[in-house]
């Protein structure tokens, strides 16, 4: 393992003089640390408290407090042993402790000398984003990072590409500042409701090469605001679109079925999306109930991994989308590897993990109120 990180350090032009030879992990200065974490293969870990993290952290860092009970167990659950770990704290002492613990477990680790204090003194950027980040490896070996922004708004990063799904800037007393985020390569909008389509925020995300994908009604509203969506990017249920060699999209039905709710999301108008990213299958359901079409997403009896859903975002706020019981039924049909209840507002979704305990689905609760 140490040979791997030594090789990465050498590739980045980081010589032996920047690494401590008296310990199992490496101490590096700010500039070399910055070079290292620019490689998306490297996992970035902030071991300070949550309050310290929220005051400012290095962008994309995972936060696990080294002083909390169960630090090592949580770190081993979330960190991939096949990839290097770059760790930091306030001054470098707590992170050195964490680095030693991780190294003993077989991780290859680099520690930032001087911590985030040295980082800031060198005028390196910090982020105050408090969004939870979940990281997955695609079948092709790429790293996909999901940022839980708010309600139905998701940011997905893979390498240098940035995908935003239903980006909105305000919901209740929560606001999202998109001016601090990268420009979008792709924006996917499911339907026209204000908690999914925020026309005012889109100019903050649109760059020279941004592609927007949506349904016909949203395309009309965007055109009226001076934002043109090419015809080929306007999808109806069942349409497929290839956006890149490793990125494709299927527009999936999303609608209400319960009597007295159909007016919220009529059948055939709105989209959910099945995103295939370098072999990783992601189902973003949009505003829907547990519709019959979901049986198409169930794993095949032959175990065809190309059809199975790896990650599902299922909504849960009656009367507009699903009740918790409906969500559990939908998850029981689809059987995603990982389930994120989202769009849940004030609905209590804490009961969902126990209701799915007999099904091989990992439920992750994030701040998608």
Q: What is the DSSP string of 242-288?
A: EEETTEEEEEEEE---STTTTTTS-TTTEEEEEEEETTEEEEE--S-
Q: Compute the distance between CA of residue 333 and CA of residue 326 in angstroms, rounded to an integer.
A: 11
H/E segment holding residue 163: strand 161-165
Sign (positive/negative) of CA torsion 53, 57, 60, 63?
Answer: negative
Q: Residue 188: which residues within 8 A CB-CB, separation 6 or more?
A: 163, 164, 165, 166, 212, 213, 214, 249, 273, 275, 284
Contact at 8 Å (CB) between 39 and 53? no
Task: Give dist(CA 281, CA 313) in Å, integer.
Answer: 11
The answer to whether the CB of 49 falls within 8 A of the CB of 64 is no
Please tell me which residue in 20, 89, 218, 316 is annotated as part of the active site: 89
**Which residues have CB under 8 Å from 173's CB, separation 6+?**
none
The answer to whether 89 is a known catalytic residue is yes
Strand runs (DSSP E) across 166-265, as ranges?
A: 170-171, 174-175, 184-188, 206-213, 240-244, 247-254
| CA atoms 215, 221, 225, 228: torsion sign | positive
Cis peptide bond upstream of 319, omega within 30: yes
Per DSSP, the three-state class of 185 is strand
Q: At what angle do helices 2-11 and 30-37 cross, to 10 degrees?
A: 100
Q: From residue 138, give the alpha-carbon distance in Å to each of 175, 289, 294, 350.
A: 31, 28, 23, 28
Active site (catalytic) residues:
89
């Amino acid at each position: 393992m140490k040979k791997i990180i030594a090789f990465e350090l050498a590739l980045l032009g980081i010589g032996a003089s920047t690494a401590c030879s008296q310990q199992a992990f490496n101490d590096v200065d700010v500039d070399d640390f910055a070079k290292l974490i620019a490689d998306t293969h490297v996992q970035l870990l902030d071991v300070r408290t949550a309050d310290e993290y929220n005051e400012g952290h290095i962008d994309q860092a995972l936060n696990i407090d080294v002083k909390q009970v169960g630090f090592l167990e949580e770190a081993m659950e979330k960190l991939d042993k096949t990839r290097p770990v770059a760790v930091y704290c306030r001054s470098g002492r707590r992170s050195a402790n964490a680095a030693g613990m991780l190294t003993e477990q077989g991780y290859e680790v680099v520690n930032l000398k001087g911590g985030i204090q040295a980082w800031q003194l060198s005028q390196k950027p910090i982020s105050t984003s408090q969004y939870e980040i979940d990281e997955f490896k695609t079948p092709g070996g790429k790293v996909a990072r999901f940022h839980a922004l708010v309600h139905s708004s998701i940011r997905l990063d893979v390498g240098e590409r940035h995908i935003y799904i239903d980006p909105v800037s305000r919901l209740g007393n929560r606001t999202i500042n998109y001016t601090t985020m990268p420009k979008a390569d792709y924006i996917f909008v499911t339907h026209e409701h204000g908690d999914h389509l925020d026309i005012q925020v889109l100019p903050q995300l649109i760059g020279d090469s941004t592609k927007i994908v949506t349904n016909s009604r949203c395309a009309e509203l965007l055109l009226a605001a001076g934002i043109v969506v090419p015809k080929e990017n306007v999808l109806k249920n069942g349409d497929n679109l290839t956006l890149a060699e490793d990125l494709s999209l299927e527009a999936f039905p999303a609608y209400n079925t319960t009597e007295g709710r159909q007016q919220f999301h009529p059948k055939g108008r709105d989209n959910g999306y099945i995103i295939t990213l370098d072999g990783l299958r992601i189902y973003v359901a949009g505003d829907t109930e547990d519709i019959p079409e979901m049986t198409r997403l169930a794993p095949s009896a032959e175990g065809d991994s190309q059809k199975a859903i790896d990650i599902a975002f299922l909504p849960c706020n009656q009367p507009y989308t699903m009740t918790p019981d409906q969500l559990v039924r939908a998850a029981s049909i689809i059987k995603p590897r990982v389930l994120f209840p989202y769009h849940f507002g004030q609905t209590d979704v804490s009961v969902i993990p126990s209701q799915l305990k007999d099904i091989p689905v990992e439920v992750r609760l994030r701040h998608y109120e």
